[in-house]
Amino acid sequence: MDEERVKKLVRELIIEIGEDPTREGLKDTPGRIAQMYQEIFAGYESDSQLSVQFSEDSDTVIARDIQFYSMCEHHMLPFLGKIHIAYSPNGRVFGISKLVRLVEKYSKRLQIQERLTKNIADELFAQGVKGVIVIADAEHLCMRMRGVRNDATLTSFASRGIYENKEEKENIMAMIRKHTPNSSI
């Protein structure tokens, strides 16, 4: 990201909004936004390092309540919530921090929730696990602040491998639901 260019563009935007970019409260805003964008869009540069795994025989592993923040690509407003990941290892397991990094890799971008869910499932499944389920629960500020102004949450799913089987999927979903009482799943 060209920081100087972003600053210039944000300054233009502030003028178009009808504000004075030179006033005290706004004069450093373009710089702050340029810095912030490097952080919240860091997913494009990220390497989730899922290849680092530990040898371990294990049944299904579930990582619940991984918090995420993303930016909706239609309005460039945040959507945020929790992601639950279940996978069936194939003799090797991932450290939980690697799963968090995987979520960040795809959430710190311009995104839509459905694609975010799929991106995570696809990358994990590509590591050779037997099956993956990814569930995302999120609220969207573009829906709260504008348009229909509703605080409904959206839940999206992606399943791969053995969990594409209906029965297998329902078993795992029930397990996640049982331990995640506030989830809408």
Q: Which residues bind Zn ion (CB under 5 A)?
A: 72, 74-75, 142
Q: Which is nearer to Zn ion, 72 or 129 (CB)?
A: 72
Provide the minimum distance between the beta carbon of 106 and Zn ion in the complex, in angstroms, as a whole number.
17
Q: How far is the CB of 160 from Zn ion (least distance, A)?
A: 26
**CA–CA separation, 101 vs 96, rounded Å?**
9
Considering the complex, what minimum distance in angstroms separates the CB of residue 154 from Zn ion?
11
Q: In the bound complex, which residue of the shown chain has the CB atom lying closest to Zn ion?
A: 142
**Contact yes or no for 93/61 (Cβ under 8 A):** yes
- Give the position of tokens 């799913």: 157
- In the complex, the smallest distance separating the C-beta of residue 79 from Zn ion, rounded to whole angstroms, is 7
Q: Which of 126, 119, 79 is nearest to 102 (CA)?
A: 119
Q: Which is nearer to Zn ion, 23 or 74 (CB)?
A: 74
Nearer of residues 75 and 169 to Zn ion, judged by Cβ:
75
Say if residue 71 is exposed, middle or buried (CB neighbours under 10 Å; 0-12, 13-18, 19+).
buried
Whether 37 and 6 have beta carbons less than 8 Å apart is answered as: yes
Q: Which helix (H) or strand (E) holds 157?
A: strand 153-161
The least CB distance from residue 73 to Zn ion, in Å, is 7
* Residue with Cβ nearer Zn ion (72 or 121): 72
| C-alpha–C-alpha distance, residues 182 and 87, integer Å | 21
Nearest to 108 by CA among 158, 136, 73, 147: 73
CA separation for the pair 170, 178 (Å, rounded): 12
